[in-house]
Structure 1
Amino acid sequence: MTSQTTVADAAPEQPVPEPRKGLRGHPWLTLISVAIGVMMVALDGTIVAIANPAIQKDLGASLADVQWITNGYLLALAVALITAGKLGDRFGHRQTFLIGIAGFALASGAIGLSGSVALVIVFRVLQGLFGALLMPAALGLLRATFPAEKLNMAIGIWGMVIGASTAAGPIVGGLLVEHVNWQSVFFINVPVGAIALVLGLVILKDHRAKNAAKSFDIPGIVLLSGAMFFLIWALINEQKWGGWGETKTLLFLGLAIVAFAVFAFWETKVKEPLIPLSMFRSVPLSAGTILMVLMAFSFMGGLFFVTFYLQNVHGMSPVDSGLHLLPLTAMMIVASPIAGALITKLGPRVPLVGGMVLTAVACFGMSSLSSDSGNLGMSIWFALLGLGLAPVMVGATEVIVGNAPLEHSGVAGGLQQAAMQVGGSLGTAVLGAVMASRVNNDLPGKWAGAGLPKLPPEQMSKVSDAVAVGVGPVPPKTPPQIAQQITSVAHDTFVSGMGFAFTVSGIVAVIAAVVALFTKRGANAEAGAGVGHI
C-alpha cells in the first residue's frame, strides 16, 4: 500500500477521492489539463535563454538588462511559490490554477508586444508571479483528485512533463528564434494558455479541505517572502559582487538567515501559520524537501555548463545542442511513469536511493568529458542522468505532497517547487564559483605553457571570464596559429573546470542518496496528530 492509503485509513473523515465517470473532476482528464499548463511554465524556464541574444540586439539592451529578463522571472517565481500555494488552499486550487494560466498567457503576449527591455522585464516578473500561482495548484489538484493507489503514477507523468519541457526548451526556442523571431518564443504561450484555460474550465473540479485556514498569516508571508528574496538575490548576484566572501554577498545571506529564523519563530506563535512547522515532523516530508534541493543542485547546476560545453566548445547551434540533450529528455519521458509504478509497489526509499546513485554516476561520468569527446560518450551520460532523475522527480514530489495534510497540499506543492528553485539557484551559483576558481587557478599556467604572450592582471581577468563559459577570447586580426592556441587553451581550461564542477555535483548527489535513506511511507500515521492527517 502507498503512504497515502495508510494515512487515509487513519483518518476516514477525509476519504480518498474516487475516479469520476464524467468530465468534471475526472482524474486522468484533470492530469491532462494541469499538464498543459505546467508544460507552458516549465518550457518557459529554458526557452527564453535562447532568445536573450536576439532580444539584446533588437532592443539595444545591456548585459545587465538581459540578465534581469531571467532573474526577474526567477525571483518572482521563487518568492511567491509558497504563498501562492496557501492561496490555493484557502480559495481553491481550481481558481488559482485558472488565474495563473490566464495571467501567464496574457503576460507572455504582452512581452511579445513590448518595444523596450524595461517592459519585457516587468512582464517577465508578472509571468513569474502567475507561474507561482499555477504550479502548486497543479499538484494540489492531482493530490485531491487521484486515489492513493494511482497518485504516484500521476505524479510520474507530471514529472515527465516538467522534465521533458525543461529539456525541450532549447530546441523549441532555437527553432522559433532562427525561423520566426524572438517574440514568437512568448507568443506561443498564448494559444497554449487558451487551450489549458478552456480545458480547466470544463474539466477541473474545485477541491477544498474542511480544515483549510480561514485567515492569512500576513507577517509570515512578508517574512518568508523577504527571506526568499534575500537568499535568491544573493545567489543570483554572488559572482557579480565578487564571490562568497564579499561584504554584500554576506550581508544578503545574513539577512536571509535572520528572516528565516524570525519567520520560524513567528510560525510557532500564530494561530493559523503560513507553513505549519509541525509538517516537518514527518520524516518523508522533511527528507523529500532536502532531497529536492540537492537534486536540483546537481541537475540544474550541472546542466548550466552543458549548454556552454555543447555550443562554445563543440561549436553547435542552439538547436543542435538541444538535440544532443534528447537522450536526457527521452529517458525522463520513458522512466518517469515507470518510476511512479515502482514507487507505488516498493515505496519511495529504493527508487529514490537508486535514482540519486545513478545521478551521481552520471555526474562523475560527465566530469571525464573532454573537448573532443564523441557523441556516443555524451549520450550515455545524458541518458543515465535522465534515468536517475526520473524517480527522484516523482518520488520526492510524492513524498512532500503526498505526506502533507490535505488542507496544506497547496503549501506542500509550493514547498516542493521552492525547493527546486533554491536548489537550482544554489547549484548554479556554487558550481559557477567552483568553475571560476578552477579557471583562475589553471588558466595562467596553461596560457604560459602554450607560449602565449603574458597578459596584465586586468586583461587576464577578462580572458578568464570568457574562458569560464567556454569561449576562446581571440582578438581581431590574430594570426590563425595563435588563434588556434588561444582557443585550445580556453577549451582545455573550461573542460577542466567543468569536470571539477561535475565532480562536486556527483558528491552532492551521493549526499542526496544518503538523505533518501530516511524516506519511508506512512510517516504521517507514525508522527501522529502533531503532523496532521489527511
Structure 2
Amino acid sequence: MTSSTTVADSAPEPPITEAPKGLRGHPWLTLLTVALGVTMVALDGTIVAIANPAIQKDLGASLADVQWITNGYLLALAVALITAGKLGDRFGHRQTFLIGVIGFAISSAAIGFSGEVSLVVVFRVLQGLCGALLMPAALGLLRATFPAEKLNMAIGIWGAVIGASTAAGPIVGGLLVEHVNWQSVFFINAPVGVLALVLGLLLLVDHRAEKAPRSFDLPGIVLLSGAMFCLIWALINAADWHWTDQRTLLFLGLSVVCFVAFVFWESRTREPLLPLSMFRSVALSAGTVLMVLMAFGFMGGLFFVTFYLQNVHGLSPVDSGLRLLPLTAMMIVASPLAGALITKFGPRMPLVTSMVITAVSMFGLSRLDVNSGALEMSIWFALLGLGLGPVMVGATEVIVGNAPIQHAGVAGGLQQAAMQVGGSLGTAVLGAIMAGRVDNTLPQKWADAGLPPMPEGAESKASDAVEVGIAPITKSTPPEIAGKITAVAHDTFVSGMGLAFTVAAVVSVVAALVASFTKRGENADAAGGSVHI
C-alpha cells in the first residue's frame, strides 16, 4: 500500500525563483489580471437568474429548460473544480487560467448568438467547465506571486471582487435585460475576457512547483466527479423531488458510495488527485468546513432575500439589487481590511468574530416582516457584509496557506468546491424549511382570514406560489379577496423566511466554533517551485 508524502515528512521546499523584474510577474498587476477573470465567473453565478424569464419567452423554453440553464452551469463548475486545480498544478496556473478565460469568453459569446435553448444549455455547461479552470488557477497564481506578508491582503481584495460581483449580478443583469436584451448579459463577458487575456499574456508569470505530480489519477477524477455530480444533482432537485423521494435518496446514496470509494482509492494510489494528507492539517480541514457553512447561510439566505424584495415589496430587479448595495459595499470594504487584520493577528480571532457578526445579522434578518423599511433592511444587510467578507478571505487563506505549494491549485479548487457545495446545500435545506413552514401554516392562516376553501388540488399550487412570495390569485379574483390572499401569502412567506434565517444563524454560530480551530497557513513561506515566462 502506498500513500502520498505528508507535508511534515517532506523535505523543505527550495525557495521560488525570483520573478522577472518589471511589469511581468508584478504581484499587484497579477491580482488585477486574475480579478478580471474571476469577475466573469462570479457575476455569471447570479446575473443569469434575471435573464431567465426573457430567455424563456424569446426562445419558447419550458421551465425545465430554464432550470437547466442555471443547473448545467452549477453542475459543471462544482464537478470540475478540484480536477481543474490539479491541471494547474501539473501544467502551470498561467496556462490553465488563460485557457479558462478564452473558453469562458467564447462560450459566453456563443450563448448570445444561440437561437435554441438546447444550445444555451450546452454552452452554459462549457462556461462552467472553463470557469472551473480559471478559478483555482487564480488562487494558485496569487499564492505563488505574493510574499507571505502580503498574501492575505491580496486574497482580501480577491474575495471582495467575488463578493461584489456575486451581489452585483442582479443589478447588472436587470439593467442589461431592461435596457438592451438578454443576450447582452452574456456578450458582456467577451470584452472582459479579451482584456483579461491580453493582460495575462503580458503580465502573468507561470509558477510551477518542482514537486508537482507528473501523472493523472484518472480513477480518482472519475470517482470524485461522480460523487460531486450526484450530491449537487440531489441538492438541486430536492425541492421538487422532496427529501424522502426515492430519486433524492438514490443520488445521495450514490454520492456517498462514490466518496467512500474515492477516499479508499486516494489512500492507496501513488499520486492522488486530492492528497488525503492535506486533511491531516486541522486548520485546513476547519477552513474547508467553515467555507461550506459560510456559503450555506450566504447563498441560501440571499436566495430568499431576492424573492422578499421583488415579490413581497414589489421592487424591480434593478431596485432589488440597489437595496442590496449595503451588503455589497461592506463586503468590498471589509475583505481587504480583513486581509490586513489576518496578516497581523492571524485568522482565528477575525474569523470567529466575523461569524458571530454574521450570526447576529442572520438573527436580525429573521425578524423582518412585510412592513420592514429600507433602513432596517440596510442595517442588517450591511452587518451581513461586514461578517461575510472576512470569512471569505480568512477561510481561503487557511485552506490555500496550509496546503503544500505543489498542491496550490488543488487547494484553490477545494476552496471553490466547498463554496459551491455549501451554497447548494443552503439553498436546498433552507428551501425545504421554507416549504415545510408554508405547508404547515398556510391552511390555518387562510382559514383565519375568512377566505373560502381552496378547490381540490389547488393547495399544492398555492403553496408553490407562496414559497417564493407570490400570492395565488388570478385576474378574475375579486379585489377584496385578492387583498386578503395577498396578505396571507406574504405573511406566510415572511414566516418561512424568518425560520430559514434562524436556522442559518444557528449554522453561523456553529461556524464560529469551527473557526476557532483555524490558524495561519503553515506553508505560507514554503513556496517551492520554478518560474516560467
The answer to whether the aligner puts 1:151 opposite 2:151 as a matched pair is yes
Task: Extract unaligned runs of 5+ from structure 2.
Answer: 1-6
Residue 234 of structure 2 corresponds to 234
CA distance in 1, matches of 2:456, 2:47: 37
CA distance in 1, matches of 2:58, 2:342: 48
The answer to whether the aligner puts 1:182 opposite 2:182 as a matched pair is yes
- TM-superposed CA distance for 1:12, in Å, is 5.6
Q: Is the 8 A contact 1:17 1:147 kept in 2?
A: no
- TM-superposed CA distance for 1:15, in Å, is 1.9
Q: Is the 8 A contact 1:469 1:494 kept in 2?
A: yes
TM-score, normalization by structure 2 = 0.96
Residue 286 of structure 1 corresponds to 285
CA distance in 2, matches of 1:39, 1:532: 26
1:214 is paired with a residue whose SS is coil
Q: Would you identify which runs of 4 or more consecutive aligned residues in structure 1 move more than 6 Å?
A: 531-534
Residue 78 of structure 2 corresponds to 78
- Match for 1:309: what amino acid? Y
**1:426-447: CA deviation from partner (whole Å, max 9, x where unpaired):** 0000000000000000000000
The answer to whether the aligner puts 1:382 opposite 2:381 as a matched pair is yes
The answer to whether the aligner puts 1:63 opposite 2:55 as a matched pair is no
* Residues 199-278 of structure 1 mapped to structure 2, 5 A cutoff: 199-241=199-241, 243-278=242-277
Residue 90 of structure 2 corresponds to 90
* Cα root mean square deviation, aligned: 1.7
- Match for 2:293: what amino acid? L
**1:69-126: CA deviation from partner (whole Å, max 9, x where unpaired):** 0000000000000000000000000000000000000000000000010000000000
The alignment of Structure 1 onto Structure 2 pairs a total of residues equal to 521
* Residues 14-163 of structure 1 mapped to structure 2, 5 A cutoff: 14-15=14-15, 21-163=21-163
Change (3 A) 1:524 1:281: farther
- TM-superposed CA distance for 1:13, in Å, is 3.7
Residue 462 of structure 2 corresponds to 463
Task: Extract unaligned runs of 5+ from structure 1.
Answer: 1-6, 526-530
Q: Is the 8 A contact 2:334 2:386 kept in 1?
A: yes
Q: Is the 8 A contact 1:17 1:144 kept in 2?
A: no
Q: Is the 8 A contact 2:176 2:182 kept in 1?
A: yes
Change (3 A) 1:391 1:220: same
- TM-superposed CA distance for 1:195, in Å, is 0.2
**1:364-402: CA deviation from partner (whole Å, max 9, x where unpaired):** 000000011000000000000000001100000000011
Change (3 A) 1:508 1:477: same
Structure 1 window deviating more from structure 2 (516-525 vs 338-347): it is: 516-525
- TM-superposed CA distance for 1:14, in Å, is 2.9
Residue 528 of structure 1 corresponds to none
CA distance in 2, matches of 1:205, 1:450: 67
TM-score, normalization by structure 1 = 0.96
Q: Is the 8 A contact 1:282 1:524 kept in 2?
A: no
* Residues 302-341 of structure 1 mapped to structure 2, 5 A cutoff: 302-341=301-340
Q: Is the 8 A contact 2:16 2:527 kept in 1?
A: no
- Match for 2:31: what amino acid? L
CA distance in 2, matches of 1:20, 1:523: 26
Q: Is the 8 A contact 2:401 2:520 kept in 1?
A: no
**1:12-71: CA deviation from partner (whole Å, max 9, x where unpaired):** 643267676411111000000000000011011110000000000000001110000000
CA distance in 2, matches of 1:225, 1:19: 35
2:468 is paired with a residue whose SS is coil
- TM-superposed CA distance for 1:166, in Å, is 0.4
CA distance in 2, matches of 1:464, 1:170: 26
- Match for 1:497: what amino acid? G
Percent identity between the two aligned chains: 78
- TM-superposed CA distance for 1:269, in Å, is 0.7
CA distance in 1, matches of 2:422, 2:335: 21
* Residues 349-388 of structure 1 mapped to structure 2, 5 A cutoff: 349-388=348-387
- TM-superposed CA distance for 1:244, in Å, is 1.1
Residue 497 of structure 2 corresponds to 498
- Match for 2:28: what amino acid? W
CA distance in 1, matches of 2:150, 2:157: 11
2:207 is paired with a residue whose SS is coil
